Homo-oligomer: A and B are copies of this chain.
Amino acid sequence: MVVSEDGNVRDRLLRAATEIFAHKGYKDASTREICRMADANGAAIHYYFGDKASLYREVFHPPERLTRLPSELTDPKASLRAGLEAFFRQVLRPLTESGVSPHLRLLVIREEVQPSGVLTARHSERFRPNHEVLCRFLARHCSVAEPDLAIDHLAFSLAGMAVILLFRREAVDTLAPGLLRDAEAVEDAVQRLTEYGVALVGSERRRRQSPGDGKRGTRA
């Protein structure tokens, strides 16, 4: 697959890098492979960006809407179900769409769960609050004032259910071929995940209301 033909070398490099970084991660991606896909000479990365890390940082300039969680999570009027459905649909979107922005979405998620270590603090700040947004959303729907360790864990559980489909695609396709076959199947998965998420939050809510539970696990 070559993304050449249109655009200048710099843009082609950015597009190819986005796709390859997103699918392989920073370390496993090779500059030679990126140049091959962009139909560019190896020295072009040095000429336009300086080095591999700078290219990565340049790629990692997603428009704000790609780094922020869906508005349903911050809207106090949104229902639990609506928030979770929007969350899972956004996370799984790279599985169905193609083009640059889905790759960028994938890259953002990958950076969040598997930091490359080459981003600047300025960059990192963009997605660090996402965990907090999700936690506050969950706390609100658990009738909890301040997120604690259990809410953190709840957030990781929701994320874990989603990212195993994104980043363990090979294992998923081997053990359950068809689970992510087409857009329709992915939408089914989103619906199931939403249902599961509602059940998880309901469980946590119930766990807190049940008496005789030592209040262990405050944050930090």
Contact = CB atoms under 8 A, between A and B. Distances in A.
State the copy count for this chain: 2
A172 B176 CA distance: 28
Interface in A50-91: none
Interface in A157-206: 157, 159-165, 168, 170-172, 175-179, 185, 188-189, 192-193, 195-196, 198-200, 202-204
User: Which bucket holds chain A's interface residue count?
Assistant: 35 or more
Interface stretch (A10-18, A38-46, A146-154): A146-154
A178 B219 contact: yes
A37 to B, nearest CB: 21
Interface stretch (A1-9, A96-104, A109-117, A137-145): A109-117
Contact of A168 (B113, B152, B177, B217): B113
Interface of A: 27-28, 112-115, 128, 131, 149-150, 152-154, 156-157, 159-165, 168, 170-172, 175-179, 185, 188-189, 192-193, 195-196, 198-200, 202-204, 207, 216-217, 219-220
